[in-house]
Amino acid sequence: MHSWSSGLSPHPGPALPRGQALLNDPLLNKGTAFTEIERDALGLRGLLPARVFTLAEQAARVLENLRKIKEPLDRYVFLTNLQNRNETLFYKVITDHLEEMVPLIYTPTVGQACLQFGVIFRRPRGLYVSIHDRGRVAEVLAHWPFNDIRMIVVTDGERILGLGDLGALGMGIPIGKLSLYTACAGVHPAYTLPVMLDVGTNNATLREDPFYIGLRQPRCTGAEYDAFVDEFVDAVRHVFPRALLQWEDFGNTHAFHLLQRHRQRICSFNDDIQGTAAVALAGLIGALRITGGALRDQRLLFLGAGEAGTGIADLFVAALRDEGVPEHEARARCWFIDSHGLVVRSRLAGLAPHKVPYAHDLPAVPRLDEALEAFQPTALIGVSGTAQAFTQPILARMSALNRRPIIFALSNPTSKAECTAEQAYGWSEGRAIFASGSPFAPVTCHGQTITPGQGNNVYIFPGIGLGALISDAREVSDAMFLIAARTLAHLVTPADLSQGRVYPALSQIREVSREIAIAVAAEAYDKGLSRSMPPTDLRTAVQESMFEPQYVPYV
């Protein structure tokens, strides 16, 4: 196993590999940037061209080649190959060009990458733990070559973005999320581990696909599934005792259950439930800085009642409760439309547990337009994965009800968005305050250019994770997500708001992550959730912990 020093900015130990083995290690490889002295000392003479390049020169070469590639998926493959060859150079390119690169390594391109993951598969990254590994999961985890893992993103591939059950092809999500942890919050890549829990897939087409990389069997469920995940959590606690676990893209049936079952057993959170909630709440708070309204006066109508929607509502209720609004009144300000219509008490017998608190004593309403008329919301939030569900009549009616209607089309990838930015602005006469899960280009409408906000979880989860790691937290509390949402909303500048944007520019994401990490770590120390003593200067401790993609001398 590689061994790294303590802290969150590890450096190679004294036993560096030499020669070709060093060039094949993406965490240590510098390629043509190895110095003359290093080439002699590390057995590299003759294995590289004679000229020594700087990191900046290497990055320029990468950009030159990347920008010649037209298709986003081909760019994703190019960057993946770079990451597998030289991680420092990969992260140098990403961090210096965040607005250009994040859509390539994550949404929206990662959705297409997952659909094609079996075809584009070149080199395994992370751990694939299958249901057939029952009884020896700890042994499988111990095969990982790094022994001080701090951040694990795990999925079972059942609900990948808005694309459904992709089974083992969903491994692109943990890989992408952890790349964002490094690029956006400076978590050193040596501390990160993507994990796929392969329990089969109910996608019959995939099971017949000759290039499918996972188990070709239906999903296991029930007690067998729970026992497998229990063993995985126990194995993580044993093999990587300082790791934080992020649950990602599990189906609704399992997502809430696993979070509640394990959040006290291991430091963990569910990004689809809690991260989405925080970024959406931050967007609402930002929108109110434009409209001048109060949070307690908002009425939220959700299209979609899964983990994302109810997670947003739960955090909205927590924020109102914090302002002194009784919980039952806060919940009454959230209505949900699912595949069967309005979530109401007459449907209790068939409702999933996470929907029950939002089942109101109202007549059944089957359609979104009818619920819109009955409730007259101030904000319409799409988390359904149903493309084009926010039609022109729906948005026109929202605009008639509200001077500045809040329209959040948060479903990913772009193909699943409930409406586009152009539609939201065009159908509201330019008055909508719009945010989406995937990026949209600025729109010129009624003589003004409006920059849509991207309500992407990347604004939240890297800072949450970094704060939890810095503070050595035992638990990621619900309060941390409320604090993160308020911190993010506070970082939106008047210039952002004047452009119609309710989130900071993506180019500021490292600063956003740093501020959220500071706030989250302070909460952990203040509430006794940390296993360590607070540093004398928390801000400096966070800043100094953040990995910067620069080459360090080996000799």
Looking at residue 168, the DSSP 8-state letter turns out to be G
**76, 91, 92, 106: the active-site residue:** 106
**177, 191, 225, 551: the active-site residue:** 177
177 is catalytic: yes
| C-beta of residue 22 within 8 angstroms of C-beta of residue 16 | yes
Give the Cα separation of 177 and 405 in Å (integer). 31
CA 545, 546, 548, 549: dihedral to nearest 10 degrees?
110
**Per-residue confidence (pLDDT) for residue 5, from 0 to 100:** 37
**Per-residue confidence (pLDDT) for residue 7, from 0 to 100:** 43
**Per-residue confidence (pLDDT) for residue 413, from 0 to 100:** 87
- Output the six-digit token pair for 193: 């581990």
> Kind of pairing, strands 151-155 and 268-270?
unpaired
pLDDT along the chain (555 residues), means of 10: 43 76 96 98 97 98 98 97 98 97 94 96 95 98 95 97 95 98 97 98 97 97 97 98 97 93 96 97 97 96 95 98 96 96 93 94 93 96 95 97 97 92 96 94 90 94 97 96 98 94 95 98 97 95 96 94
Could you tell me the domains of the chain?
54-266 (3.40.50.10380), 274-457 (3.40.50.720)
**Per-residue confidence (pLDDT) for residue 454, from 0 to 100:** 92
Place of tokens 């070149």: 122
106 is catalytic: yes
Give the Cα separation of 547 and 101 in Å (integer). 18
In whole angstroms, how far apart are CA 243 and each of 197, 313, 345, 470? 17, 29, 41, 12
Give the Cα separation of 419 and 424 in Å (integer). 7
Q: How many residues comprise the chain? A: 555
